[in-house]
């Protein structure tokens, strides 16, 4: 049985700190590994205990199911409790996440980049300087300044079955429901399959 594909979790903003250091007279006597709080665990604590959202509301914000959110939250609480009781350092890093900032794709050099400074508009690619920049959203559509949008598709090379690509699930890992072959990527910002056509 193949492992379940882990959905990428949405984090609204990266944390303002990288972790915490405990202090006290007993700390010099022990050398303990720091506790690693993943970004999604940090986000679960922030949404539930700082923003005061219930687990369903927080799960929607992170783009995961409510049971998955509850598991992430429980793991975060357990790690924080362990760090407090054992006097361990907490570092916040890692995890399978994306940050809630605008992402862009350059048609000329094919690089992807984000825009953490939301107040500044993106006019050109930071790598090649091209103005052929498209907004990329996580529903796998590309938007240019004329609002033409094309679908990004996974296609079966054997039977031709097509389905809309889901971000975080590589086409090469998807199995065609008809002939059980591995699928391939079809769409790109250069495609001509616009929604309004």
Does the pLDDT at position 41 exceed 50? yes
Residue indicated by tokens 């720091």: 34
* Lowest model confidence (mean pLDDT) among 15-19, 77-81, 101-105, 186-190: 186-190
Specify the pLDDT at position 117: 63
Residues contacting residue 185 through CB under 8 Å, at least 6 positions apart = 152, 153, 154, 155, 165, 171, 172
**What is the model's pLDDT at position 166?**
67
C-alpha–C-alpha distance, residues 80 and 123, integer Å: 42
pLDDT value at 139 more than 50: no
Burial of residue 142 (CB within 10 Å: 0-12, 13-18, 19+) is buried
Do residues 58 and 118 lie in contact, with contact meaning Cβ atoms separated by under 8 Å?
no
Tell me the average pLDDT across 133-154: 51
Q: In the prediction, which pLDDT does 149 show?
A: 37
Q: 131 pLDDT band (50/70/90 cuts)?
A: confident
54 by Cβ neighbours in 10 Å (0-12 / 13-18 / 19+) ranks as exposed
Contact 73, 17 (CB under 8 A): no
Question: Is the pLDDT score of 188 beyond 50?
Answer: no
- Position 157 scores a pLDDT of 84
Question: Sorting pLDDT into bands at 50, 70 and 90, what band is 116?
Answer: low
User: Between 20 and 150, whose confidence is greater?
Assistant: 20
Per-residue pLDDT tens over the stretch 77-102: 999 999 999 889 999 988 877 776 66
- C-alpha closest to that of 104 among 72, 128, 69, 80: 128
């Amino acid at each position: 049985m193949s492992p379940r594909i882990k959905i990428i979790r949405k984090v609204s903003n990266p944390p303002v700190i990288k972790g915490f250091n405990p202090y006290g007279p007993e700390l010099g006597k022990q050398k303990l590994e720091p506790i690693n709080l993943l970004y999604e665990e940090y986000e679960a604590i922030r949404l539930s205990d700082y923003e005061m959202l219930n687990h369903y509301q927080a799960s929607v914000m992170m783009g995961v199911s409510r049971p998955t959110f509850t598991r992430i939250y429980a793991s975060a609480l357990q790690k924080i409790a362990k760090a407090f009781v054992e006097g361990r350092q907490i570092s916040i890093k890692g995890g399978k996440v994306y940050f809630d900032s605008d992402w862009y794709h350059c048609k000329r050099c094919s690089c992807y980049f984000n825009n953490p400074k939301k107040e500044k508009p993106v006019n050109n690619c930071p790598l090649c300087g091209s103005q052929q920049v498209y907004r990329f959203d996580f529903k796998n559509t590309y938007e240019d300044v004329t609002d033409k949008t094309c679908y990004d598709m996974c296609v079966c090379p054997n039977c031709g079955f097509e389905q809309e690509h889901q971000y975080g699930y590589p086409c090469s890992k998807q199995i065609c429901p008809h002939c059980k072959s591995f699928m391939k990527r079809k769409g790109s910002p250069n495609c001509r399959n616009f929604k309004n056509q």
